[in-house]
Amino acid sequence: MSDPLRRMLSLHDFEPAAKALLPAPIYAYVSGAVEDGQSERANREAFAEFAFRPKVLVDVSARSTRCTVLGRDYAAPVGVAPMGISAISSYRGDVVLARAAAEAGVPCIMSGSSLIRLETVMEAAPDTWFQAYLPGDEAQIAALIDRVAAAGVNTLVLTVDTPVAANRENNVRAGFSTPLRPSLGLAWQGVTHPRWLFGTFLRTLARHGMPHFENNYATRGAPIMSSSVLRDFSDRGHLNWQHVSAIRRRWNGLMVLKGILHPDDARAARAMGMDAIIVSNHGGRQLDGSVSPLHALPAIMDAVGSMEVMLDSGVRRGTDVLKAMALGARCVFVGRPFNYAATVAGQRGVAHAIALINEEVRRNMGLLGVVDLKELGVEFLQRAGADVSRGR
């Protein structure tokens, strides 16, 4: 059998390969956005609106993709974004993603809506960041934060753009639901996708039992087919800046807010002592019509000064990475393509995907005339025929 990774030449190539392997409801969950998909499309289109102005006759033979994020040196400025229930689209998905990132020397954020215990992932990849979805009351929040600290997590990421459940119509149309509901249609999807059925789902059941949401609380959460799952994921409407302030006082490690799009929220995060923020619209999976993170970035950079700012949503190419960094991002995170890569070839697939985009960054640095990523600035970009300036 030929190696499928030989046909994977860019991050785009992983999606059709994964789609062929996954049951339609699972693929719909990973690939889908919300409502009319405006934000998801805008995330990609935003990168096309910026053009490069390369510098020539620069000795780029010694260029390096190394970068520093939150005081730590990384091999490249491309990390793995948090992705919920990734263990249902690839066997031991959270472990696979974290190990691949650790071996590549890039950051990885584990999702709080994961099906593998945080402690297991931290044992496999000790420097993994953890993204928390805060539970329903202050006592539960405190217990979860204490559990995360006890697991050895140093970087806590609070996702703040999910106060209520999003309107993911595509999931309903494709037969995906939370909780998963057994049906003849779902059974047929399993039978007609035998590699997923035997290599991921039944293998997980045989070795680890029914998947549970392991990390929403200090204690084990509901199984993926439990009727209480929806309640667990919708009880966030009360969360506010006071909760964030209380967590900041309790948490001794690095703390990042993910899901910032408004300059006022960026200023509030800085004033509250956050170490960094991630500019993100959740990959277009929450509020449809929300501004693309790339377009939001210049005004946010003006608002926060020297505070570290990262970005996710829509990044697919090394050129996307360089454009985001030229506008001020310290690094970027990629989600869906790494999930697809895990589906296609497990940890080896994720490693290949990380290497592909990182090599694109290195190659395009040479073509842009950049030796060190710290050289990047708005002078390398032009938008719609005019100079780029922050805040416009």
Is 74 known to sit in a ligand binding site? no
250 annotated binding-site participant: no
Identified catalytic residue from 193, 212, 282, 295: 282
Note if 193 is an active site residue: no
Question: According to the annotation, is 128 in a ligand binding site?
Answer: no
| Residue 84 labelled as part of a binding site | yes
**89 known ligand binder:** no
282 annotated to a ligand binding site: yes
Annotated binding residue at 316? yes
Is 374 labelled as part of a ligand binding site?
A: no
| b/e sequence 99-116, b meaning 16+ C-beta within 10 Å | bbbbebebbbbbbbbbbb
Asked whether residue 111 is marked as a ligand-binding residue, the answer is yes
Q: Is 314 annotated as a binding residue?
A: yes
SS3 for the chain is CCCHHHHCCCHHHHHHHHHHHCCHHHHHHHHCCCCCCHHHHHHHHHHHCEEECCCCCCCCCCCECCEEECCEEECCCEEECCCCCHHHCCCCHHHHHHHHHHHHCCCEEECCCCCCCHHHHHHHCCCCEEEECCCCCHHHHHHHHHHHHHCCCCEEEEECCCCCCCCCHHHHHHCCCCCCCCCHHHHHHHHCCHHHHHHHHHHHHHHHCCCECCCCCCCCCCECCCCCHHHHHHCCCCCCHHHHHHHHHHCCCEEEEEEECCHHHHHHHHHCCCCEEEECCHHHCCCCCCCCHHHHHHHHHHHHCCCEEEEECCCCCHHHHHHHHHCCCCCEEECHHHHHHHHHHHHHHHHHHHHHHHHHHHHHHHHHCCCEHHHCCHHHEEECCEECCCCC
258 annotated as belonging to a binding site for a ligand: yes
Q: Residue ranges for the binding site?
A: 29, 82-84, 111, 131, 133, 159, 168, 258, 280, 282, 285, 312-316, 335-336
Q: Residue ranges for the binding site for FMN?
A: 82-84, 111, 131, 159, 258, 280, 312-316, 335-336
Catalytic residue list: 282
Q: Residue ranges for the binding site for glyoxylate?
A: 29, 133, 168, 282, 285
